[in-house]
Amino acid sequence: MAETKQPESHSTRATSYDVARHAGVSQSAVSRCFKQGASVAIRTRERILASARELNYYPNAIAQGLITRRSNMVAIIISNLTNLYYPEVLAELTQRLSAQGIRVLLFSLAAESDVDEVLDQVWRYRVDGAIVAARLHPEQLAAFADRGVPLVLYNRIGEGIPVASVCCDSVSGEHALVDGLVASNHQNFGIISGPSDSYVGEERVEAARRRLQQLGRSCLIVRGNFDYASGDAALRELMRMTDQKMDAVICANDLMAIGVIDSARTNFGLAVPHDLSVVGFDGVGPATWLAYQVTTIRQPVRRMTEAAVAMLLERIERPELSAEQRLFPGELLPGSSARLG
Amino acid sequence: MAETKQPESHSTRATSYDVARHAGVSQSAVSRCFKQGASVAIRTRERILASARELNYYPNAIAQGLITRRSNMVAIIISNLTNLYYPEVLAELTQRLSAQGIRVLLFSLAAESDVDEVLDQVWRYRVDGAIVAARLHPEQLAAFADRGVPLVLYNRIGEGIPVASVCCDSVSGEHALVDGLVASNHQNFGIISGPSDSYVGEERVEAARRRLQQLGRSCLIVRGNFDYASGDAALRELMRMTDQKMDAVICANDLMAIGVIDSARTNFGLAVPHDLSVVGFDGVGPATWLAYQVTTIRQPVRRMTEAAVAMLLERIERPELSAEQRLFPGELLPGSSARLG
DNA sequence: TCTTCCTTTGCATTCGAAGTCAATTCGAAT
DNA sequence: ATTCGAATTGACTTCGAATGCAAAGGAAGA
């Protein structure tokens, strides 16, 4: 019966003052109770915690954020969550950050043009840092530096501006695929790129194209947009473009590779990999399904997300840290959608 | 040269006081400028906005949240982002909320047991509301009510406690599937459930089982866990359990249906749907891929997320609103993985 | 018993913006 | 020129917790 007010008014949550009054101490004492390493007598702490429990008190993180200038929130900006690869990344990042006592403010972009609006909100919410898997203009990158918001790019790099980043090595990955295909004597290559605004898409295509050139193979390149349907569309286009028998298709991601495999079998009556070898990139779940078993490069998502989180936390503690760039090699998944040498 | 300090110290962002000083007005005036409908002379507003731009000022949402008791953040709690169905839901929800000027604080659970930790953070961050696609105990549901945090469940219901919710109708969906299968004279049914802690899983299985019973068909039920591999595992188990020729498998979601289809073809040499009909639930992307074309019930995700967001916003404005429950019928996607009557 | 030093504790201030209320300005009407 | 009301504006307080500083309490040593 220590309550001085009406039974309970839901609209008003208990504050540290309420707890202080209830426990017969000052507000400072309550605050110290919830900060580890602070000086509070054991008996006092117990009494306060008991009161807190009784009043259902939870420290207001908003108020804490205001006074400490630390929101304990990190922004995650992802351009297309429908990509099949990103949900896994997002889940990993979220769980790792949670484990470190950090909350995730999620921003998902429908169109790349929405970035500026999103950044506006990022500034307003005073997040402690950001992990971005979306394309940022140089000015946008500069804005992070200007405002002192630590930033780690995921599968992107600064392109001119030094930014911390975590990437899967497209070059070595594509080389492994191309080398394998060439070793088993494929002759006519098709490459299906990602959408024009995709950094990894361009990088992978460029790596594959260069390697083919080095090895004296020519190739046709058509544009895809990373989704299933565009695999089929791109394959049709490739077939139309060449009069020779195309025997290998390199796709900028697994989803398109799957689209190509389905289309090759169903629409062109081709046996994969006997008539046509198809390779992808990412190592998403469906790539290993029995119907596909895509030959691909699996990104080490766990290690990459772990690194991204570690790098971000480091930079939150020590903003002066350099713009390190960590490159992780992918792992070749042999699969059975391609004949590799 | 109105600056009084060093060129710029990144660590300290401009506040409304800085803008006020720069524009020669009071802090109140600056505040009013950023609140629409407030009384500010046009010329003053322009001068202030110019100063704000020059100083790179963005209102501190944390401070706003403290004074207005509105964080403009909503918690989204999702149990397993790897589910293939949820990324789509999450992307939709996030974009709809963003469009309403609301930010998303994302919590993804590795294990259901983490819910309490997550709720702890939800209370601390004073979110304006929550959308939950995870199983909550009655006490956890009650906690939302106690603390006056508006809540909308997604594909779950309160089970005893009145809670606002948005669901896809499992019963009518399963009835449509079962009726179709029975009409085309399937005899021996197998049902693959979801994990035991899945609400929708149980609901779908129960609906299918009842309907089969009504129609005088018997069935075997085995447990799955919603992922691809468990489709194969469950099919093997079903095959082991019966000596009759099973001719229809009803899966609690599409992913398992896909696993079953692959396994039936590859491991059992069965033709789908000639030897075995397989149906799923959800209507996720891969369900429509050429290799599968799963006969399934597609959830109207757009309408459901739209409703969830609308219901939540309503309840944030008017907390006294009743615990409405909105049930959306799914759409039968005929596909080609089952012979339907 | 009286210092001395260390541990606890409370007071008062601070973070940054919103909003109340009173003071001021301005224009129009008299 | 004077008055009145509406539109602007600023001073001040508030939200809830963290923290520097000083006061108080306690244990140990002289």
Buried b (16+ CB within 10 A) or exposed e, B38-48: eebeeebbebb
Residue B41 pLDDT: 86
Residue nearest to nucleotide D14 (CA to C1'): B67
Nearest DNA or RNA nucleotide to A44 (CA to C1'): C8
Of A11, A125, A147, the CB nearest to B62: A125
Under 8 Å CB-to-CB from B214, ≥6 apart: which residues?
none
Per-residue CA distances from B340 to A152, B217, B253, B333 (Å): 51, 16, 18, 11
Of B60, B126, B285, the CB nearest to A126: B60
In Å, how far from its chain's centre is CA B324? Answer: 17
Contacts of B10 in chain A (CB under 8 A): 146-148
Nearest DNA or RNA nucleotide to B28 (CA to C1'): D10
Nearest DNA or RNA nucleotide to A15 (CA to C1'): D16
Residue A159 pLDDT: 82
Q: Do A73 and B105 touch (CB under 8 A)?
A: yes
Residue A24 pLDDT: 92
Residue B6 pLDDT: 36
The number of residues making up chain B comes to 341
pLDDT of B148 > 50? The answer is yes
Please state at what angle helix A138-147 crosses helix A115-124, rounded to 10 degrees.
0
**Which neighbouring-strand residues pair with A279?**
A250, A295
pLDDT band at B1 (very low <50, low <70, confident <90, very high): very low
- Summarised one tens digit per residue, pLDDT across range A259-305 is 999 999 999 999 999 999 999 999 999 999 999 999 999 999 999 99
Contacts of A91 in chain B (CB under 8 A): 80-82, 108
A70 touches chain B (CB under 8 A): no
pTM, entire model: 0.93
Instruction: Report the C-alpha gap between A174 and A83 in whole angstroms.
Output: 20
Q: Do B126 and A65 touch (CB under 8 A)?
A: no
Q: What are phi and psi of B78, to 5 degrees?
A: -130, 135
Strand D proximal to B27 Cβ, under 7 A? yes
Q: Do A105 and B105 touch (CB under 8 A)?
A: yes
Q: How far is A213 from chain B (nearest CA, A)?
A: 34
B27 CA, C18 C1': Å apart: 10
Burial label for A7, CB within 10 Å (0-12, 13-18, 19+), is exposed
Of B62, B103, B147, the CB nearest to A13: B147
**Which neighbouring-strand residues pair with B74?**
B104, B129
Average pLDDT over residues B199-222: 94
Residue nearest to nucleotide C25 (CA to C1'): B41
Residue B12 pLDDT: 67
Average pLDDT over residues B256-262: 98
- Summarised one tens digit per residue, pLDDT across range B224-242 is 999 999 999 999 999 999 8
Residue A39 pLDDT: 79
Q: What is the pLDDT along chain A (341 residues), one digit of tens a residue?
A: 333 333 344 456 899 999 999 999 999 999 999 987 777 888 899 999 999 999 999 999 999 999 999 999 999 999 888 888 999 999 999 999 999 999 999 999 887 778 999 999 999 999 999 999 998 999 999 999 999 999 999 999 988 899 999 999 999 999 999 999 999 999 999 999 999 888 899 999 999 999 999 999 989 999 999 999 999 999 999 999 988 889 999 999 999 999 999 999 999 999 999 999 999 999 999 999 999 999 999 999 999 999 999 999 999 999 989 999 999 999 999 999 999 97
Least reliable range by pLDDT among A264-268, B243-247, B329-333: B243-247
Q: Do B124 and A90 touch (CB under 8 A)?
A: no
Higher local confidence (pLDDT), B135 or B261: B261
Q: Tell me, what DSSP letter sits at residue B197?
A: T
pLDDT of B66 > 80? The answer is yes
CB B142 within 8 A of CB B301: no
What number of C-beta contacts closer than 8 Å exist between A and B?
Answer: 153
pLDDT of B306 > 50? The answer is yes
Q: Which of B11, B103, B128 to mutate to test the interface with A (most CBs of A within 10 A)?
A: B103
Q: Which residues numbered 235-294 in A keep a CB inside 8 Å of some CB on B?
A: 258-259, 261-263, 265-266, 285-286, 289-292
Q: Per DSSP, which regions of chain A are E strands?
A: 73-78, 103-108, 129-133, 151-154, 164-168, 189-193, 219-223, 248-251, 277-279, 296-298, 325-328, 331-333
Q: Which residues numbered 201-230 in A keep a CB inside 8 Å of some CB on B?
A: 228
B296 CA, D11 C1': Å apart: 66
A119 CA, C24 C1': Å apart: 39
Residue A12 pLDDT: 67
Residue B38 pLDDT: 73
pLDDT of B327 > 90? The answer is yes
Strand D proximal to A32 Cβ, under 7 A? yes
**Which neighbouring-strand residues pair with A219?**
A189
Nucleotides on strand D with an atom closer than 7 A to protein CB? 7-12, 14-20
